[in-house]
Amino acid sequence: MITGLVLLVVIGGASLLAPFLSPFDPLEVRLNNRFAPPFQRPHLLGTDALGRDVLSRLLYGGRLSLLLAVLSTLITLSVGMLLGMLAGYFGGWVDGVVSFVVNTFLGIPDVVFTLALLGVLRPGFGTLLLALNAGSWVGLARVARGEVLFLRESGFVEGARAMGAGAWYCLLKHILPNLFPTMGVLGSLRFGGFVLELAALSYLGIGVQPPFPDWAVMLNDARPYLFTHPHLFIFPALIITVVILGANCLGEGLRDALDVRFQRGIGES
Amino acid sequence: MHSFVHRRFFLVVLWSLLVFLLLVCSALAQERPEVIIAGHRDLVPGENDPYYTSTLLHVWEPLVTRDEEGWPAPMLAESWEVSEDGRVWTFHLRRGVLFQDLTPFNAEAVVANFERYRRISPANSPFYPFRIHETYPGLKEVTAIDEYTVRLTFEEPVPALPFLMVNFGSAMFSPRNFREDGFFNGFPIGTGPYRLVEHKKDEYCRLEPFEHYWGQKAISPIRVRVIPQAETRFSALKAEEIFGVIDIGALTPALAMELLKDERFAVEVSPSTIAHYLFMNGSRPPFDDVRLRKAVSLAIDREFIVRELYYGYGEVMGTILSPASPFSVPLPIEHDLAEARRLAKEVLGEKRVQVRFIFPSWSLERYPYKEQAEYIQSVLRELGIDAQIQILEGGAFNEAMKAGEYEIAMRNQGLPNAEPNTIFTWYVLSDGAGNVEYHLNFKDQEADALILQARREMDMEKRFQMYARVQEIAKEGYHWIPLFNNVDLLVYNKRLKGFRSLGKKYDVTLWEAYLE
Amino acid sequence: MRHYDWLQRFLQMVLTLLGITVVAFLLREAIPGDPVEILLGKEGLFQPSPEEVRLFRTRFGLDRPLFVQYFRWLGDVLRGDLGRSFVTKRPVAQEIRERLPATLLLALAGFSFAVLIGLLGGVFLAFWSGSIVDHLVRVVTLLFRSMPTFFVAVVLITLLGERWRVFPTSGMGSWRHLVLPAVVSGSGFGILIMRLLRTNLLQVLGNDYILAARARGLSAWKVLLKHAFPNGFVSVLTMFGLYLGGILGGSPVVETIFAWPGAGRLLVQAIYGRDFPLLQAFVLVFGVTYVAMQMLVDVCYFFLNPQVRPGKRIV
């Protein structure tokens, strides 16, 4: 878990400090220096198709990605967990309503949603956030609901209720902590998904517009040059992998941390 | 006993010889191996399409085709003449031609086909829509004068009829090939060197040589596979699962270059009518001022774009009419950054201006539009123009253009037929559809007069001059700025022989192809 | 009592299905661009005349108010008529029927691959948790998952198809054609399952009754399979339901890259080409599968633990 935190903080910090750290202007086009190979001065990671410094673009490229991915993951997790818990625990009409909404969202292809959003809203940060999150909380909600259905039948919940504990107490003390491990895994994988989805949205007109750099977009731009100039693909791919690795360590590490606490809790009751 | 053994021995030898001969014969008589090529889309849209297949597959033939210079040339019609007033066209048909169902091609068949045109028009197609009133404006009558002569009578003079009829405009099928509604009742039965024998939608189609073809017979059977992704076509070529590529966007310039590094491959460059343009919104500032539009045109180094982004595969254009048209005049291509800056300064002064630069996302699949746009953006920045690039989904892009919610739009445009009047009417005529709908706002009286006049001009020489003048005027308008003409890169395995591009005919010699 | 629950669920299903179709109808109106112009024009190559546009609109009832269009469509569907594609003019049912088997084949193959590596991998990693192998596998699998599908596909095609000629690079045909697309299609999900199962198993293994079972002398494997698995499997099961529910949508990306003639590609074409009848029918079929899958998952919950009954009220 520490590894994860360290990785993310380092990269996040670098992105934040990009204006100070980056050796070149990420937007500066130098047509006489296209496709400079990496590991040479002054462009340590080479240049791209328009002669722009890759290192600088990488430093700036994470700003929107990371912000959006972190925000989206938090939103998706909170909304998904909350609704899933409510549906799973209370059952009845609550489950009916939530499941109806969830299944409706799930039954419609994502592309339709995104395009419809495009038609109705102006491109902007809010639209971007909406586009990323509209469909992603539903899966989480269903998974959460499933786990809660099983958890509420477990011994300690019945015990707590027998002692007269209210619904919210049960939810918070017993059910929620048990959801963390699963949510940790799914959340961290979703985090990576958000980073990559940004590229697809950019090509639809929402999201990062050229010439601003973005990791996932840089990855896609490197497609035609996959065989000729692989460095254009490798560096953004590496950064994204490291970020996802960090998120994953963090997410799954949460399980370890909370598990110990939970164990102690069981011992007490 | 002795003679018995001898006879036995002799019989065995005889039999072996016979078997050997049979084997040899069957090996010789074996069909040529199937030539496998691939394209990014299914070239056989099917029964409910006006043509069933693309011309590229040579299953059907038109009355009039194009020669390698782009002029109308005889195909199923050997020759034609027109009356003095331009209203009556007489076509002399080729003799000795059979449809693939072995019925004769004659005037009766042609009349039946025209009858069909009336029934199906207007009809959509992924290639070109068929609209009878556009290809045969004011057609009154179609009559068979004798077995090999057909007469078309029009309400008004149509001086450029052959230009309009080229290829998709005059496809000929067997009269027994149609349903009541005019569409096909089965596989297409044309007169071409290939028969369509199998078709799996979006997967592949198979063509086999037609033994009774009137011209040069095809050598090998062909299988055309559908492989939507360029990188996959690249891999398939390298793995020798396919031996060539076909159709627009056969291979992207970057991939083609990479493939050509391999000794096994060569390329046939096929010019297309598709060219790239910048549409300038002339109905609002800042591009309502022609000087600024001119500055934009002057600032862009078209040679650089073609050389660097398209690896030299393309033809820079100074005129709005693609060089694939025989009426295209080579106007000078200007690149003058200093003059561009001066003009920009004149219009903007010290101020900077923000503009929206849009292009459709579907173009990214085939062309390096993103780099192209970013290059243009960097060049415009020096003029004091801050271009905001917006990649828009196809439908959203069209909407934006119609609503005039853009200042510069980049898109490609092809020629619907060989008659330039169509494209001039759209984009140069003051109330032309494209001009008005896309807010280009170009108005020139002389151009208007010329375009309308040329529609009735019978003298080819005079028309050529009129169209040349229209191009000059359009150029000075800088409202529809031409960048360069596209070419298709048909990379093929050298084991595939006889695979040649036919210049502006926009065709490939499939019938000559065979595998070594 | 139990039957009443399931009946209720079934009715909910139908309601949800209707909801899906209604929402789809509404959403398609929001999509930018005039669909008729997009259908008649061809990437801007041609301008349809206003007359043509009007004719098209009236012919297909696109000029009627939205709810009229919806009920007309619903009526047609109940009579078994899914309409004709705007683009190819063939019956929609035929279009979908032609392409669906290919997608199903690919999806099931991908799913099998995912389940294989997911379940095996998840169990093994739980067993070996904390070891070098665990960390190594984590890095490698996450590397895989952090690359867009496209790149994974191209790398596999280049290495296994082009260079080493083990598998064909594209198309559909023999079982060999299925391998690469299935691997690409299923690997992302497989990795998800692997990590999810691992975490869930470890979570359950930390419980007291597990320690008790071990103390009673049961072998580690038996503990894992008999006690840990059922409870640790819930989320994985839910994920299976979500994945299988969506298989009809296929993966347009995988299908495009591998030239696989499936329904996923058709769906994307229908959306971008504004082929409404095809799109609407797709949503219907898609919706049915999804909803059916969710119900199946709920049934499976019951088998894992008979106490679990979705919809049961808690006061």
- Contact A205/B361, CB-based, under 8 Å? yes
pLDDT digits (tens, 9 = 90+) for B424-445: 998 999 988 889 989 999 999 9
Give the helix/strand (H/E) hosting B436: helix B433-437
The DSSP result for chain C, as a single string, is -HHHHHHHHHHHHHHHHHHHHHHHHHHHHHSSS-HHHHHHS-TTS----HHHHHHHHHHTTTTS-HHHHHHHHHHHHHTT---B-TTT-SBHHHHHHHHHHHHHHHHHHHHHHHHHHHHHHHHHHHHTTTSHHHHHHHHHHHHHHTS-HHHHHHHHIIIIIIIS-SS-SS-S-SHHHHHHHHHHHHHHHHHHHHHHHHHHHHHHHTSHHHHHHHHTT--HHHIIIIIIHHHHTHHHHHHHHHHHHTGGG--HHHHHHTT---HHHHHHHHHHTT-HHHHHHHHHHHHHHHHHHHHHHHHHHHHH-TT--TT----
What is the pLDDT averaged over residues A166-182? 74
What does the DSSP 8-state code read for residue B367?
Answer: S
The least confident of A173-182, B51-60, C154-163 is A173-182
Give residue-wise pLDDT tens across range C40-91: 766 545 667 777 788 888 888 788 888 888 888 888 888 888 888 888 888 9
Q: Report the chain B residue with the minimal C-alpha distance to residue C102.
A: B203
Confidence of residue C26 (pLDDT cuts 50, 70, 90): confident
The domain B194-270+489-515 is classified under which CATH number: 3.40.190.10, 3.40.1390.10, 3.40.50.300, 3.40.50.2300? 3.40.190.10
Q: Determine contact: A205 vs chain B, CB below 8 A.
A: yes
Distances (CA, A) of A62 to A132, B466, C72, C104: 17, 56, 49, 38
> DSSP letters along chain A, please?
-HHHHHHHHHHHHHHHTHHHH-SS-TT---GGGTTPPSSSSS-TT-B-TTS-BHHHHHHHHHHHHHHHHHHHHHHHHHHHHHHHHHHHHH-HHHHHHHHHHHHHHHHS-HHHHHHHHHHHS-SSHHHHHHHHHTTHHHHHHHHHHHHHHHHTTSHHHHHHHHTT--HHHHIIIIIHHHHHHHHHHHHHHHHHHHHHHHHHHHTTTSSPPTTS--HHHHHHHTGGGTTT-THHHHHHHHHHHHHHHHHHHHHHHHHHHHHHHHHHHHHH-
Phi, psi values for residue B333, rounded to 5°: -95, 120
| Interface list for C 153-192 with A (CB within 8 A) | 154, 192
- Nearest Cβ partner of B203 from C33, C46, C172? C172
Matching residue, tokens 């992302």: C188
Confidence (pLDDT) at B196: 95
Q: Please tell me whether residue B194 adopts helix, strand or coil conformation.
A: strand
Residue of A nearest to B363 (CA): A203
Pick among C239, C295, C307, C314 to test the A interface (most A CBs inside 10 A): C314
Euclidean distance between CA atoms B120 and B181, whole angstroms? 7
Q: Using CA coordinates, name the residue in chain A closest to B251.
A: A224
The token pair at A34 is 């296209």
Nearest by CB to residue B241, choosing from C32, C169, C274, is: C169
Kindly tell me the burial class for residue C215, based on how many C-beta atoms sit within 10 Å of its own C-beta (0-12, 13-18, 19 or more): exposed
The lowest-confidence range among A192-196, B27-31, C248-252 is B27-31
Please give the average per-residue pLDDT across A36-65, as a whole number. Answer: 86
Instruction: Nearest by CB to C203, from A120, A237, A255: name it.
Output: A255
Say how far apart CA B300 and CA B84 lie, in whole Å.
47
Rounded to a whole number of angstroms, the distance between the first and last alpha carbons of chain B is 53
For CA atoms A185, A189, A190, A191, the dihedral sign is positive
CA of A47 vs chain B CAs: smallest distance (Å) = 13
Element holding B408 (H helix, E strand): strand B408-413
Could you say which residues from 153 to 172 on chain C have a Cβ atom under 8 Å away from some Cβ of chain B?
A: 154, 157-158, 161-162, 165, 168-172
Distance CA(B345)–CA(B337), nearest Å, equals 12
User: pTM surpassing 0.90?
Assistant: no
Q: How many CB atoms lie within 10 A of CB B230?
A: 21
Contact B378 A29 (CB under 8 A): yes
Nearest CA in chain B to A114: B393
Query: Across residues B99-121, what is the average pLDDT?
Result: 93
Quote the pLDDT of residue A89: 82
SS (H, E, C) B348-359: HCCCCEEEEEEE
The per-residue pLDDT for C285 is 86
The alpha-carbon gap from A71 to the nearest alpha carbon of chain C, in Å, equals 19
Sorted by sequence, the CB contacts under 8 Å of residue C210 that are 6+ apart come out as C204, C223, C227, C228
pLDDT (mean) for B323-334 = 90
**C46 interfaces chain B, CB cutoff of 8 Å:** yes
Chain B residue numbers touching A202 (CB-CB < 8 A): 391
Chain C environment of B238 (Cβ under 8 Å): 162
- Whether residues B361 and A203 touch (CB distance < 8 A) is answered with yes
Predicted local confidence at residue B207, as pLDDT: 95
Lowest-confidence region among B6-20, B264-278, B461-475: B6-20
List chain B residues with CB under 8 Å of C44.
398, 411, 413
Span B273-487: which CATH code? 3.10.105.10
pLDDT at A255: 66
Task: Tell me which residue in B126, B225, B235 faces C158 most closely, judged by beta carbons.
Answer: B235
Residue A264, pLDDT > 60, answer no
B23 touches chain A (CB under 8 A): no
Residue B139: per-residue pLDDT: 93
Select the residue of C207, C231, C313 nearest A92 (Cβ to Cβ): C313
**A and C: number of Cβ contacts within 8 A:** 185
Burial class (CB in 10 A: 0-12, 13-18, 19+), A163: exposed
Residue C25 clears pLDDT 60, i.e. is over it: yes
Which tokens belong to A244?
Answer: 């996802």
CATH H superfamily, domain B62-177: Dipeptide-binding Protein; Domain 1 (3.90.76.10)
Interface test with C, best of B41, B398, B436 (most C CBs within 10 A): B398
* DSSP character string of A69-101: HHHHHHHHHHHHHHHHHHHHHH-HHHHHHHHHH
Output b/e per residue, A109-121; b: 16+ Cβ within 10 A.
bbbbbbbbbbbee
Closest-CA residue to A99 (of C2, C148, C82, C13) = C13
Name subunits touching C (3+ CB pairs < 8 A). A, B
Does B99 score more than 60 pLDDT? yes
The fraction of chain B above a pLDDT of 70, given in percent, is 94
Q: Does B411 reach chain C within 8 Å, measured CB to CB?
A: yes
- CB-based contact (8 Å) between C65 and chain B? no
Residue B324 confidence (pLDDT): 84
The DSSP output letter for B109 is H
Banded pLDDT at A266 (limits 50, 70, 90): very low
- Nearest CB partner across the interface for A203, out of B304, B373, B391: B391
Q: Is the pLDDT of residue B227 over 90?
A: yes
Q: How far apart are the first and last CA of chain A?
A: 28
Which of A8, A143, A225, A233 is the best mutation test for C, with the most CBs of C within 10 A?
A143
Mean pLDDT across B66-93: 92
Asked if B201 lies within 8 A of C171 by C-beta distance, the reply is no
Q: What is the pLDDT of residue A269?
A: 30
* CATH superfamily membership of C95-304: MetI-like (1.10.3720.10)
| Cβ distance of A211 and B389 shorter than 8 Å | yes
Write the pLDDT tens digit of every residue in B2-25.
Answer: 555 667 766 666 666 666 565 555
pLDDT reading at B343 higher than 90: yes
Residue extents of the structural domains in chain B:
62-177, 194-270+489-515, 273-487
Domains of chain C, residue spans: 2-78, 95-304
Tell whether B340 is within 8 A of chain C (Cβ).
Answer: no
CB-CB contact of B434 with B426 (8 Å) = yes
Whole-number Å distance between alpha carbons of B69 and B72: 9
Q: Quick check: A259 contacting C, CB < 8 Å? A: yes
H or E element that contains B397: helix B394-403
Instruction: For A22-42, write each residue's pLDDT tens digit.
Output: 788 888 888 888 888 888 878
Count the Cβ atoms, other than its own, within 10 Å of residue A254. 20
Best CA proximity match to A73, nearest among A123, A124, A15, A132: A132
Residues of C in contact with B237 (CB under 8 A): none
Structural domains for chain A: 64-268 (1.10.3720.10)
Cβ neighbors of A41 (< 8 A, separation 6 or more) are none
Looking at residue B306, the DSSP 8-state letter turns out to be: I
Backbone torsions φ then ψ of A84, nearest 5 degrees: -65, -45
Mutate to test the interface with B, among C42, C56, C165 (most CBs of B within 10 A): C42
Nearest in space to C123 (alpha carbons), one of C210, C196, C188: C196
Return the minimum-mean-pLDDT range out of C15-24, C201-210, C239-248, C298-307: C201-210
When comparing pLDDT for B223 and A8, which is higher?
A: B223
Least trusted range by pLDDT, from B68-82, B470-484, C69-83: C69-83
Q: Mark yes or no for CB contact A189/C195 under 8 Å.
A: yes
**Per-residue pLDDT, C218:** 67
The Cα–Cα gap between A173 and A154 comes to: 14
Of B129, B239, B394, the CB nearest to C162: B239
Give the highest mean pLDDT range of A1-5, A109-113, B109-113, C55-59: B109-113
- Closest-CA residue to B484 (of B363, B333, B371, B337): B333
Nearest C-alpha of chain C: how many angstroms from A3?
Answer: 12
In one-letter notation, the amino acid at residue C307 is Q
The total number of residues shown for chain A amounts to 269
Whole-number pLDDT of residue C226 = 63
The answer to whether the peptide bond before residue B122 is cis (omega within 30 degrees of 0) is yes
pLDDT band at C214 (very low <50, low <70, confident <90, very high): low
Q: Angle at Cα C253 formed by Cα C251 and Cα C254, nearest 5°? A: 70
Interchain pair C28, A263: CB under 8 A: no
